[in-house]
Amino acid sequence: MIEFRRVTKQFPDGTVAVEDVDIVMPPHKTTVLVGSSGSGKTTLLRMINRMVDPTGGQVLIDGMDVATQDPVQLRRGIGYVMQNSGLLPHRKVIDNVATVPLLRGVGKREAYAHALELLDTVGLDRSLADRYPSQLSGGQQQRVGVARGLAVDPNILLMDEPFGAVDPIVRAELQQELLRLQGELGKTVVFVTHDIDEAFLLGDQVVIMQQGGKISQAASPAEILAHPADDFVADFVGADRGKRALHVTEVDGRNVVVDADGRPAGVLTS
Ligand SMILES: Nc1ncnc2c1ncn2[C@@H]1O[C@H](COP(=O)(O)OP(=O)(O)OP(=O)(O)O)[C@@H](O)[C@H]1O
């Protein structure tokens, strides 16, 4: 479990990126941070693995304050996947995936065998192992990024707009892959996105952030759609969906999302 207790981050220039945030991210679930640009999502995410340190409050992992842990050690146990995959361009796919385990002292043979298995896990053909990142499509690169994030078998996987740079069709494929993977692996995933549809699709818990790094609402997608906490959330949920006033209605015992004209937009499963 990841817990933020009254966490604030003020950068040296005075910018308050995150203010007084309390949030619990439950184990084996996906928490999605969503909000407009500059609302503090990335800063919040990076405080989990100490790429950023808070200026107030505490971040705890399984009850232990991350501030007491060595940042390098901490990061080696937490998977991190970013936009544009973050792969090392001059190293082959297989080396990119095996890098962190090798740094942690895993033997070469074992690290490479596991890296090949991880290519299977993320749906990549093993024949791509010897290519360089520039010889892959954007979607394939993102899959390698996910494989690399999983290479140390972390309990926690941080994903910062991992599908932001690929086209909508590939993005939809990657989202489905992540749902499948999460069904199998059950990691504690923290995922950042601008896209409310992506947030509702992937998140067990969706955290809606607003400018100034404050949380407007943290709840399940069903709860947010049914009971937006305030006008900001109602607007955000509606605006990103083409200004349709979405609401939830019950049909044959199921929660169906419909727009202002009564057209069904989807069925809620939780
Ligand atoms: N190193 C820094 N120094 C000063 N201000 C910073 C620094 N990093 C981020 N900020 C500011 O903190 C605020 C939150 O930034 P952050 O990157 O966390 O937002 P975000 O919601 O992830 O945005 P985006 O969706 O555009 O990536 C912004 O106003 C940003 O300009």
| Domain positions in the chain | 2-77+154-231
Residue having the nearest C-alpha atom to atom 11 of ligand 1:
17
* pLDDT for residue 243: 47
Centre of ligand 1 to C-alpha 93, Å, is 30
Q: What per-residue confidence (pLDDT) applies to 192? A: 96
Entry pTM: 0.86
- C-alpha of residue 43 to centroid of ligand 1, in Å: 6
Please give the distance, rounded to the nearest whole angstrom, from the Cα atom of residue 40 to the centre of ligand 1. Answer: 6
Query: If we measure between CA atoms, which residue out of 58, 28, 35 comes closest to residue 210?
Result: 35
Nearest protein CA to atom 4 of ligand 1, as residue: 11
Instruction: Express each pLDDT in 237-261 by its tens digit.
Output: 885 555 445 667 776 777 777 766 6
What are the tokens at 191?
């995922």
- C-beta 193 within 6 A of ligand 1: no
pLDDT at 128 (0 to 100): 96
| Alpha helices, DSSP H, located in 38-151 | 41-46, 71-76, 93-103, 108-121, 138-150
CATH number of the structural domain 2-77+154-231: 3.40.50.300
Place of tokens 């990024």: 145
Best residue among 8, 21, 32, 42 to mutate for probing ligand 1's pocket (most ligand atoms within 8 Å of CB) is: 42
Distance CA 172, CA 56 (A): 38
User: pLDDT tens digits for 92-145?
Assistant: 999 999 998 898 888 999 999 999 999 998 889 999 999 999 999 988 999 999
- Return the residue whose CA atom lies nearest to atom 14 of ligand 1: 40
Establish whether residue 13 lines the binding site of ligand 1, counting it when its CB lies within 6 angstroms of any ligand atom.
yes
Residue nearest to atom 2 of ligand 1 (CA): 11
Pocket test for ligand 1, best of 10, 19, 41, 195 (most atoms within 8 A of CB): 41
pLDDT for residue 167: 84
DSSP assignment of 144-161: HHHHHHHTT--SEEEEES
As a whole number of angstroms, the distance between CA 169 and CA 111 comes to 32
Q: What is the pLDDT of residue 83?
A: 81
Structure tokens at 124: 């990549």
Name the residue of 43, 47, 195 whose CB sits within 8 Å of the most ligand 1 atoms, as the mutation to test its pocket: 43
The dihedrals phi and psi of 247, each to the nearest 5 degrees, come to -150, 170
According to DSSP, residue 263 is labeled -
| Cα–Cα distance measured from residue 45 to residue 66, given in angstroms and rounded to the nearest whole number | 13
DSSP 225: H
Which residues of the chain are under the pLDDT cut of 50? Answer: 243-244
Tally of CB atoms within 10 A around 74: 18
